[in-house]
A = this chain, B = another copy of it.
Amino acid sequence: MATANVVTPQSEDFPKWYQDVVAKAEMADNGPVRGTMVIRPHGYAIWERMVAEVDRRIKRAGAQNAYFPLFIPQSYLAKEAEHVEGFSPELAVVTVAGGEELAEPVVVRPTSETVIGEYMAKWIQSHRDLPLLLNQWANVVRWEMRPRLFLRSSEFLWQEGHTAHASAEDASAYARKIHTEVYNDFILNVLAIPTFLGIKPPSERFAGATNTMTCEGMMKDGKALQMATSHELGQNFARAFDIVFQSDAGESAHCYTTSWGSSTRMVGGLIMAHGDDRGLIIPPRLAPTQVVVMAVRDGDEAVDAACASLVTALDNADVRVTLDRGRGSFGRRVTDIELKGFPLRIEVGPRDLAEGVVNVVRRDTGEKTLVALADVAVTTTTLLEAIQADLLATALHRRDSLTVDVATVEEAIAAAQTGFARLAWDLVTPEIEKQLKGEALTVRCLQRADGSMPDHEKEAGLTCIIAKSY
């Protein structure tokens, strides 16, 4: 196994394995300014596919994209006291522009919540303007002291949705719709990562929110990663930004608002949920390239012709396919293709070709199948579906086997060393939460006994998931 040397084994040092995969699969590099990142073409192609899939679902849910400025007056952030408290240690501030000291410094957006609030107030007059459903794809900045590529960076890419509604019920229903039909649907059905859907305990809520919903994914090391969150803000933001509408009866009232976001962090989640000691594994529905076709040996005309016609046949069958133009030995090229995580590779060699077959290799299992040339398109499509299903099944099995029902806080602490602990929520007092934090553990989310999302943390019979997290 030449590849055994390429990345540190997961079992040896999981964080080092992660770093190695990010570097060797050419996903990202550290930027020149501490905490920033350079997303390289392979990493960015994966992000572009995430954007396309999430954006399609957001539009299907009725929201419209818009773009708000990078620069926000410092005074805006002070309007919502809790909000500014949540963000102030992380702000980057422009004090000089156009060759002069600015009279009022401007903040580089840590989120566009405040500026969007300001414009919602301007655009909303009557109940007929509601709901107002906006989304933005943008870069945001939160100064990061302990950066990690994709997981925590001073600048990251994300989408943030912001909506205003006439009633609490409508706001709540929309936030839930986004959370399940956009985020969880994408994470489960495209990323092949099963999540625990639940609400955050009050201590972990977004600043200013009345309710925060989360999708918690389990990484291969048993830690949790918050994949996306959706917030109900009640009338808190509407009051701070004066987002008011006239009802049908002519009465004035504050709107109910929501916000929701997902980011390049999901790329980190993808790596840690599926990757193995040979590198990245990308689920077929996400993969920018689903199949790599490679000639086993350079310079054989018949092989080159067969490769070209396979690419055409797969492209015609709507498979995202590329021809490997890698250099070096066959082994070196296979190592590179495996590092980058393409779901299938097709090896075309002169001897197989003479018998009318090619070698189709699954990235997830390593399984090799000799397939007749005429059957490649059909077999490929079937295999891609199988890989998607198997990745999800494997992740689901891992999550469920590493999630332990416990009866006491002590048992929870023990179980959460290697996975998730599920405990009765009414056992977790604020003091217990502090104790857990001392053990580097947090309550990731609250769920009903049947695993569904509660309306609020005061429902009877709730359980909570306790884990280490990224």
Q: Counting CB contacts under 8 A, is A438 at the interface? A: no
Total chain A interface residues with beta-carbon distance under 8 A: 56
Which residues in chain A, 7-49, are within 8 Å of chain B measured between CB atoms? 29, 31-33, 36-41, 44-45, 47-48
Q: Counting CB contacts under 8 A, is A66 at the interface? A: yes
Chain B residues closer than 8 Å to A66, beta-carbon distance: 38-41, 44
- A75 — nearest CB in chain B belongs to which residue? B32
In the complex, the answer to whether A48 meets B33 with C-beta atoms within 8 Å is no
Q: Counting CB contacts under 8 A, is A334 at the interface? A: no
Which residues in chain A, 85-101, are within 8 Å of chain B measured between CB atoms? 88-99
A423 → B minimal CB distance (Å): 35
Q: Determine, out of A138-146, A245-253, A270-278, A374-382, the stretch whose residues face the partner at the interface.
A: A138-146
Q: Could you say how many copies of this chain the assembly holds?
A: 2
Known contacts: A32-B118, A33-B106, A128-B327. The answer to whether A139 contacts B70 by CB under 8 A is yes
- A41 — nearest CB in chain B belongs to which residue? B64
Q: Counting CB contacts under 8 A, is A158 at the interface? A: no
A155 to B69, CA, bound (A): 7
In the complex, the answer to whether B108 meets A94 with C-beta atoms within 8 Å is yes
Chain B residues closer than 8 Å to A76, beta-carbon distance: 32
Known contacts: A70-B141, A92-B96, A108-B108. The answer to whether A45 contacts B31 by CB under 8 A is no
Q: Counting CB contacts under 8 A, is A470 at the interface? A: no
Chain B residues closer than 8 Å to A119, beta-carbon distance: 29, 38
Chain B residues closer than 8 Å to A91, beta-carbon distance: 96-99
A450 → B minimal CB distance (Å): 38
A233 → B minimal CB distance (Å): 20
In the complex, the answer to whether A93 meets B93 with C-beta atoms within 8 Å is no
